[in-house]
Amino acid sequence: MTIDERAINLLKATFPDWSVATEDWFNADRAIEKLKPPFIVYILPTGGQMTKRNGRIHDHEDVSVAFLTHVPRGANGMDNIICYNRMKDAAQAFINAINADDFFFPVESWNYTTIYEELADITTGVLLTLTLHEMRGDC
């Protein structure tokens, strides 16, 4: 199983009532306009690193995952803060799922950026960026 497959499966298992799309960032708008909120967009990876340790190749993939929900056009600051914090909580739940899974090394730090009404579908949320390190590697 690849890092992408495992991460997407964890997202679907952790958030069974959420819509999950796998897209590049440029096509995320079109993908979510057909889905029911809240949304998770697993952004196609842009890079990573491979290492060899004890005769095995280990992949370390840079991934981005957007946790988004609708807000009304021109939502006030408090509306956006409530949505943003709810999406940040979801991102933390995903990190907890990764850390409970024996496929990945535990994630101890990650970055996120806020998204406020930036997409065509008027969504607010967070874009989580992190590097996932597979634990076992291929022989």
Q: Give the per-residue pLDDT at 80.
A: 79
Cα separation, 129 vs 93, whole angstroms: 14
Q: Is the pLDDT of residue 50 over 70?
A: yes
Q: Is the pLDDT of residue 137 over 70?
A: no
pTM, 2 dp: 0.89
Instruction: Report, as an integer, the average pLDDT of 101-110.
Output: 93
Q: Note whether 42 and 20 are within 8 A (CB).
A: yes
Share the mean pLDDT of the chain.
88
Q: Which residue has the higher pLDDT, 61 or 137?
A: 61
User: What is the per-residue DSSP string for 20-49?
Assistant: EEEE-GGGHHHHHTTSPSSEEEEEEEEEEE
User: What confidence tier does 136 reach under pLDDT thresholds 50, 70, 90?
Assistant: confident
**Partners of 39 in the β-ladder:** 19, 68
Q: Hey, what domains does the chain have and what are their CATH numbers? A: 3-133 (3.30.2000)
**pLDDT tens column, 51-69:** 888 888 888 999 999 999 8
